[in-house]
Amino acid sequence: MTAEVREGWIVSKKAVEKLDVERFNLKKLNELEVSKQYQIKISKRFAASQNLNYSKDIKQGLEHIKKNIKLSAEESLGMYEWKQHKPRFDAVCSQFLDQRKQAIKHWLQDSN
């Protein structure tokens, strides 16, 4: 006697959205003025931190670079807003299902 066992990952959309919390509005980079503003902010941040020496601790240097990029992007681009979709099942669907149930009940009770 043998048995098969299958495992699968079920991931919902909401779980994926929670994992990807920080999303910047990258579409704004297509605008010339916003793009220039982002470049200016990021260059100022890196010019200010150019004097710092991270040769001993590379991880700290990478964290500093990451923080500078995130701050510049947040200030100039802003965060991405998730679109709110209409619910698929609404009052019209509910009314249609009630009518369908009534029609089936009427059909089952009718002897013809």
Domain extents for the chain?
13-82
Q: Which residues pair with 79 in a beta bridge?
A: 24
Q: Which residues are CB-neighbours of 67 under 8 A, at least 6 positions away?
A: none
Predicted confidence at residue 4, as pLDDT, reads 73
- Its pTM stands at 0.50
Top-ranked range on mean pLDDT: pick from 9-18, 57-66, 90-99: 90-99
- SS3 of 24, please? strand
Q: What is the pLDDT of residues 30-53, one digit of tens each?
A: 888 988 998 898 888 888 777 767
| Tens digits of residue pLDDT in 48-70 | 777 767 667 788 888 888 888 88
